[in-house]
Amino acid sequence: MRTVLGKPVEQLGPHWVWAERDLAIPQFEFGIIAGGRGTSGGFNPWLPGDDDGILSVAGTRLAGATDFAVVPDVHALLPFDSKVRDYALRFLRHGCFISPERRRPIEKDD
């Protein structure tokens, strides 16, 4: 990551270790929209698996999510992607990104 984002990301890195093990599961319905190519290789050749150029798709998964979707876009452009906006609105209205039948929940680890 230092090669791509420079020294600041290295300085942040050690302080973010807690996030993977201590992130609380929200006590309300939530969905996750990740960016990626939808293939075994993403936009960044230095990240394993699919990714949005910054985060791996696998790293975006949080147990307890009501729905999960991957859109074909890079990290910085996700907020401007019309599919992301459509998914977010559908989730707020209906509790899923596409339909209840196509929901992809992430099971909680009990």
pLDDT tens, residue by residue, 49-107: 999 999 999 999 999 999 999 999 999 999 999 999 999 999 999 999 999 999 999 98
Alpha helices by DSSP H, 23-80: 57-60
C-alpha–C-alpha distance, residues 82 and 87, integer Å: 9
The letter for the amino acid at 95 is: G
Report which DSSP code applies to 31. Answer: E
pLDDT in tens, 6-59: 566 555 555 554 454 556 788 899 999 999 999 999 999 999 999 999 999 999
Q: Can you give the pLDDT at residue 100? A: 96
Answer yes or no: are the C-beta atoms of 73 and 84 closer than 8 Å. yes
Answer yes or no: are the C-beta atoms of 91 and 67 closer than 8 Å. yes
